[in-house]
């Protein structure tokens, strides 16, 4: 596999780093990046081929990763010209639908759309993937190999399901950051020093997530095990129930999913 990245931002950099860490050949990676500063950073950080515009090395690649901002995508694709041939195109641009990408690529149909999340920047991400019917099994495996370089990868059965993926995992890190923020702030209000409250909140969330990941039981069972009758945990969870926190969280994630669909409509307008 020879990979060209259209765009050399944070997510592209994370993918390149992950691939190289897994033993991928650096000479088989090209990056097309218009920003001189970003090109210099990439060339300094990794021994990959970097260019300001598509060149012969980039055009020789069999896999193209679209990693520019969604609002800049149409103009960036225009720089590629026509004739992608059998190139597999992998889009990590949030919100941009396959029908629009295909149209902007002159009807090209070998496209996989992906929704990664920011923990990919430290190799702990998860990505949702969906492929057009024209994408072969080998090409699906190739796309999964690229995204798995920065974490896990899961396939969904319909492109519309990438909006819930965005709401759950794409936006999900922000929900977790918010919870850590609130947990630490509550500790401070109860008298803990700010640094101590933050350490307690961070370690608790990190440890609980790792425990849930390793356990064979569901999160619901794990929760029940630490909720003693008449104890402190039950007191807190009773407030969550009284305030209908589960319902409010569901409404919030529904809102994020709907907004994803709305942005997809707007980004695809001509």
pLDDT at 89: 97
| Arithmetic mean of pLDDT, 227-244 | 96
pLDDT tens digits along 157-195: 999 999 999 999 999 999 999 999 999 999 999 999 999
pLDDT exceeds cutoff 70 at 47: yes
pLDDT at 10: 92
Which residues, listed in sequence order, are joined to residue 155 by a DSSP beta bridge? 129
| Arithmetic mean of pLDDT, 64-90 | 90
pLDDT exceeds cutoff 80 at 269: no
pTM for this entry: 0.91
For the chain, give the mean pLDDT: 95
Q: Where are the CATH 1.10.3730.10 domain residues in the chain?
A: 172-263
CATH class in words for 172-263: mainly alpha
Q: Where are the CATH 3.40.50.720 domain residues in the chain?
A: 3-159
Q: Which CATH superfamily is domain 3-159 in?
A: NAD(P)-binding Rossmann-like Domain (3.40.50.720)
């Amino acid at each position: 596999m020879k990979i060209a990245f259209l765009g050399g931002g944070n997510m592209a950099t994370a993918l390149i780093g992950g691939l190289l860490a897994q033993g991928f050949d650096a000479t088989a990676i090209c990056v097309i990046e218009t920003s001189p500063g970003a090109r210099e950073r990439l060339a300094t950080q990794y021994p990959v081929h970097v260019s300001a515009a598509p060149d012969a090395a980039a055009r020789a690649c069999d896999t193209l990763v679209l990693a520019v901002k969604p609002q800049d995508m149409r103009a960036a694709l225009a720089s590629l010209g026509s004739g992608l041939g059998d190139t597999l195109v992998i889009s990590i641009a949030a919100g941009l639908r396959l029908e629009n990408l295909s149209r902007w690529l002159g009807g090209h149909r070998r496209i996989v759309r992906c929704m990664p999340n920011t923990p990919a920047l430290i190799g702990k991400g998860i990505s949702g993937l969906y492929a057009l019917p024209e994408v072969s099994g080998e090409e699906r495996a190739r796309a999964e190999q690229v995204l798995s370089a920065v974490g896990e990868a899961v396939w969904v059965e319909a492109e519309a399901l990438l909006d819930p993926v965005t709401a759950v995992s794409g936006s999900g890190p922000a929900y977790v950051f918010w919870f850590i923020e609130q947990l630490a702030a509550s500790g401070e209000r109860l008298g803990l020093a700010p640094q101590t409250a933050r350490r307690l909140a961070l370690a608790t969330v990190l440890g609980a997530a790792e425990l849930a990941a390793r356990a064979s039981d569901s999160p619901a069972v794990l929760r029940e095990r630490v909720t003693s009758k008449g104890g402190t945990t039950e007191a807190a969870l009773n407030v969550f129930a009284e305030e209908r926190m589960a319902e409010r969280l569901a409404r919030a994630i529904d809102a994020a999913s709907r907004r994803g669909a709305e942005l997809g409509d707007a980004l695809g307008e001509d």
